[in-house]
Amino acid sequence: MNEIFPGLWIGSCPFKENAPNLLRFGIKSILTLDAAPLSDGVFDCFNRKFIRLLDEPSQDVLDILEEALDFIDLSLTTGGILVHCAMGVSRSATIVIAYVMRKNKLSYDSALEVVMKKRLVYPNIGFVNQLKLFEVMKWKVDRKSPVYMQYASIRTFRGSNIAYNRTDPSTTIATRDPVQPATFKCRKCRRALFSSASLVSHCLPDSTTPSSESVDVDGENKVEISTVLIKGITLNAVPTPCTRDELFTDPLEWTRSYTHEVEGKLYCPGCQAKVGSFNWCGERCVCGTWVTPAFHFNRNHLDRVDRRLASSQSTTQPLFSVPNKVEPTSTSSSPSVAIQ
């Protein structure tokens, strides 16, 4: 058990034998973040609050964060408080770090440093990402803010409810709509990555409203947060399709392993070559629209196969092609042919 600053303690699950020691340290309240509350009896003399929280990256910490922080604030007006989970390393640390962030208007990294000076803690990656969103929202859970609404939309894509595109372009594309016949393959190993049926179209942002706002995160880095949440269409916009031909797709079956990070690089599952990037909070197209979530593929690393031609001659078309050079004939006896 460690005191982060006067009155705020963090630790593991207390044994009943430790109850007198808690009182000796001036602790009058206990916040439990675990699968089950403390047993009744010896801890009845404390002001207690139980919030069910598992140490899993998929747990929604933002949903219970302000409830926990407000309880800490209230408890500190009457005495000390112990914030604990099973081991005092991840769940309780997440709440205590968030409290330090809000109280002192600190970035996640700065607040983590404050806590680490008193106790070694290791919040899981899902909790860390949510604390960084808490930082972007200026130390409050603003459910009407663009970043929170994007976060909420991300959660609908994750886990069992995620709308993964399960089409295997290497085996089923020939049976799909002939209007969308193309397969996109890794240029290095030739593995089929997705079909054109998986491409996500979007519209141009409303010209009367900003497409994003720049939020100062830690005094040095700025994070752009989308103000256009659904395919670039705002309430007062006249939808105009984007024609920049960027390659954004739905979440694909082979991208399931990318659900524990907010953003990162996309690698070909066949050869691990870099083929693009992803960002569950969205990415801005060159037209100015944010696509959420964004699975953005780099055309320079892909080849496009047109199935209408592949059935007869297995034609592979690079996404950027150079016209073939026609060499002039050197035989004078050959008849001249006009090349049109």
Encoded tokens for 122: 């290791």
Q: Encoding tokens for residue 152?
A: 């909420």
* Cα-based angle 318, 322, 328 (whole degrees, multiple of 5): 135
- Within 256-317, residue ranges assigned H as helices are 307-313
Residue 18: alpha-carbon gap to chain centroid: 40
Among 280, 242, 253, smallest CA distance to 264 is for: 280
In terms of residues, how long is the chain? 340
Contact criterion met (CB below 8 Å) for 203 and 241: yes
Residue with tokens 């030739």: 190
Give the span between the Cα atoms of 249 and 266, in whole angstroms. Answer: 12
Note whether 126 and 59 are within 8 A (CB). Answer: yes
In angstroms, the CA 250 to CA 317 distance is 23
For the question of residue 203 being annotated catalytic, the response is: no
**Catalytic residue from among 13, 85, 186, 287:** 85
- CA distances 116 to 43, 94, 136, Å, are 28, 12, 22
**Cβ neighbours of residue 140 under 8 Å, at least 6 residues apart?**
66, 102, 134
Q: Is residue 293 reached through a cis peptide bond, with omega within 30 degrees of 0 on the bond before it?
A: yes
3-state helix, strand, coil in the chain (%, to 5): 30, 25, 45
Contact between 205 and 289 under an 8 Å Cβ cutoff? The reply is yes
User: Would you name the residues annotated as active-site residues?
Assistant: 85
